[in-house]
Amino acid sequence: MAQRQRIGWPLGVAVGVLAALAGCTPTPTVTGPPPSPATSESPPETVPDFSFSVAPPPSSPPATAAVIYGCDSQPVVRPATFLLLCGDAGEALVDLAWSDWGQTSASATGRIVVKSCTPDCADGASIPYVATVTVTGLFGGGYTKMHISAPRAPVPAQDFAIETDGPRVLTRLPTGY
């Protein structure tokens, strides 16, 4: 009997230490026959038994909505439309359908609408072209770069910096447009 108690307690302590290292919370419970009345000659017979509850893995923080800033300096999430040329509204993205928003890079398909300026910009028609849009440079909850590919548009590829006051043209290919 004494041998069993000497082995049981060190084993219980070892199990408790291992459980703590594994992130478990030991909950000691005593099992066995009901204790007999204690006498001065023999202690009550108890054998510790450890049950464990495993703590759930830490939950990831809730995803914050990534944004891009429009010409009005207001943050927008997954915009369906987005004005590109703030000065004259000569180009805008419309009918955007986004994927992977909030990830390192997000893409959209839609159309870029371009003023033709024929016969002049005030009276010219707005012409839509199929476009693919990619935003990258996620920093501080906002995308900082935008690339537009519209192979049939007068400017088939464009890059923008997205700042807090809206988009700013970086490159337009072909150059000179």
Among 117, 97, 116, CA closest to 107: 97
pLDDT at residue 122, as a whole number: 81
CA–CA distance, 23 with 46 (Å, rounded to integer): 27
Q: For residue 54, which of 28, 26, 30, 29 has the smallest C-alpha distance? A: 26
User: What is the distance of C-alpha 144 from the center of its chain?
Assistant: 16
Please give the structure tokens belonging to residue 59: 């939950």
3-state helix, strand, coil in the chain (%, to 5): 10, 40, 45
Other beta carbons within 10 angstroms of residue 78's beta carbon come to 16
Q: What is the mean pLDDT of each run of 10 residues along the chain (177 residues)?
A: 48 46 49 55 56 49 75 96 90 97 97 90 90 97 97 94 95 66
pLDDT at 19: 46
Contact 9, 28 (CB under 8 A): no
Where b means 16+ CB within 10 Å and e means fewer, 45-77 reads eeebeeeeeeeeeeeeeeeeebbbbbbeeeeee
For residues 163 and 71, is the Cβ–Cβ distance under 8 A? Answer: no
Asked if 145 and 160 count as a contact pair (C-beta separation under 8 A), the reply is yes
